[in-house]
A and B are shown apart, each in its own frame.
Chain A
Amino acid sequence: MSTGLNDNEIISKVLSGDHQAYAGLVNRYQNYVFTLTLRMVKNREDAEEVAQDVFIKAFKYLADFKGASKFTTWLYTIVSNTSISFLRKKKLDIHSLDNENVFAAAANQDSGMRANMIEQKSKLAMVNEAIGLLNPDDAQIITLFYKAEQSLEETAQILGIETNAAKVRLHRARTRLKEKMETHYVQEVRDLN
């Protein structure tokens, strides 16, 4: 359902009492929010719960959005905080960028996947799965840059880091993704060449 209105116009409508107009924002950004939460919580059911929570919080505090930044930038802050709170509640480890050991957990997850690789996976499914194997920081930056189609400057702004730092983080994330694909999806990578 495309409303034709831009984000700020929809927000103005919602703030002036037309709460149903909020559906326009939900429809527009549900995949963006869901993908980002999925990258953090690593489970579709949990990600859906967190994503719903994100939209509810965004609605409640919509009056605080002043339009100084893009709506997606503001939304990402809520995504990040809500996902971290959820993970804390579930007492799961929040993996940091520098902690390489955490990949063990993701690699275990992958061994199960490989057993099911009887049928040929599509390229896109492979990329999505490989991103899912990355640590949350790497997965976030790749998702923001490629899937949410943010520029490097916008990605840096969303993550609250310098553009150069975002550039380095993106390079590292892509290198790790490439390694993941080469290690875990040997056949698919071979088919691509």
Chain B
Amino acid sequence: MNTQHNMEESLWNFIDGTISASEKIVVEKLLQTDADWKAKYGELLQVNELLQSSELEAPSLRFSKNVMEQISKLHIAPATKSYINKKVIWGIGLFFVTMIVGFLIYGIGQIDFSSGEEVSWSKNISKIDFSKIFSNTWVNAFMMINVILGLVLLDSYFTNKRKEFRKEA
């Protein structure tokens, strides 16, 4: 079974012209001396010729007309890159990085380094009272304002883009 499979694979590579030079010499020799290889080669060559001579299927005669009729009612959308402003992406990235750095600074600032105890970082981190950070009214208010501002900005940005696009169309 495996030999049969290898034989077919080598022969298909030979037919496709993707066989290596060294393997090609071996296959050529086998085709001259081995009847099984020769017979299989004949079979595969026939399948290959049939496939090469086959043609693509054709749709109905009205196909092209139907497509053109439908696209006459449409307009081409602007390229994705042109309406996704890189500055917006950088801005969002910067916002998140600032938030993360801010929380880290705040958290590390809570650690008492002067206690003199030899404690590992993992222990120090476990001492941080995250509930204080996240239940702090000011922090929550700050985050909410940021999120609302972000959404308002995003909405106005897309509204402007939509208007511009309608004008162009």
Interface size range of chain B in the complex: 35 or more
In the bound assembly, the distance between CA atoms of A174 and B43 in angstroms comes to 12
Which among A19, A22, A148 is the interface contact of B56 at CB below 8 angstroms?
A148
Chain B residues 49 to 65 lying within 8 A of chain A, measured CB to CB, are 50-60, 63-64
- Give chain A's interface secondary structure class: helix
A62 at the interface (CB under 8 A from B): yes
Encoded as 1 (CB less than 8 Å from any A CB) or 0, chain B from 30 to 52 comes to: 00000000000001101110111
In the bound assembly, the distance between CA atoms of A15 and B79 in angstroms comes to 11
A-B pair count, CB < 8 Å, reads 111
Residue contact B55 to A124, C-beta cutoff 8 Å:
yes
Give, as a whole number of angstroms, the nearest-CB distance from A43 to chain B.
Answer: 12
A158 at the interface (CB under 8 A from B): no
- Give chain B's interface secondary structure class: helix
Residue contact B51 to A127, C-beta cutoff 8 Å:
yes
Q: Given known contacts A30-B59, A178-B43, is B51 in contact with A14 (CB within 8 Å)?
A: no
- Looking at B68-76, B110-118, B131-139, B148-156, the stretch in contact with chain A turns out to be B68-76
Encoded as 1 (CB less than 8 Å from any B CB) or 0, chain A from 180 to 193 comes to: 01000000000011
In the bound assembly, the distance between CA atoms of A152 and B55 in angstroms comes to 18
A69 at the interface (CB under 8 A from B): no
In the bound assembly, the distance between CA atoms of A14 and B74 in angstroms comes to 13
Q: Chain A residues with Cβ under 8 A from B12's Cβ?
A: 170-171, 174
Residue contact B63 to A59, C-beta cutoff 8 Å:
no
Closest B-chain residue to A20, C-beta based? B68
In the bound assembly, the distance between CA atoms of A59 and B67 in angstroms comes to 10
Q: Chain A residues with Cβ under 8 A from B164's Cβ?
A: none
B91 at the interface (CB under 8 A from A): no
Give, as a whole number of angstroms, the nearest-CB distance from B93 to chain A.
Answer: 23
Residue contact A31 to B76, C-beta cutoff 8 Å:
no
Residue contact B54 to A124, C-beta cutoff 8 Å:
yes
Encoded as 1 (CB less than 8 Å from any A CB) or 0, chain B from 72 to 106 comes to: 10101111101000000000000000000000000
B2 at the interface (CB under 8 A from A): no
Interface size range of chain A in the complex: 35 or more
Q: Chain A residues with Cβ under 8 A from B20's Cβ?
A: none
Q: Chain B residues with Cβ under 8 A from A27's Cβ?
A: 64
Closest A-chain residue to B75, C-beta based? A60
Q: Chain A residues with Cβ under 8 A from B47's Cβ?
A: 174, 177-178, 181
In the bound assembly, the distance between CA atoms of A167 and B78 in angstroms comes to 38
Residues of A within 8 A of B (CB): 14-15, 19-20, 22-23, 26-27, 30-32, 34-35, 38, 47-48, 51-52, 55-56, 59-64, 123-124, 127-128, 131, 142-143, 146-148, 152, 167, 170-171, 174-175, 177-178, 181, 192-193
Residues of B within 8 A of A (CB): 8-9, 12-13, 16, 18, 43-44, 46-48, 50-60, 63-64, 66-68, 70-72, 74, 76-80, 82
Q: List 21 A-B contacts (CB under 8 A).
A: A20-B68, A26-B64, A26-B68, A30-B58, A30-B59, A30-B67, A31-B59, A32-B56, A34-B59, A48-B63, A52-B66, A56-B71, A61-B76, A61-B77, A62-B76, A64-B77, A167-B18, A170-B12, A174-B51, A175-B8, A193-B46
CB-based closest 4 A-B pairs: A31-B56, A63-B79, A34-B59, A146-B51
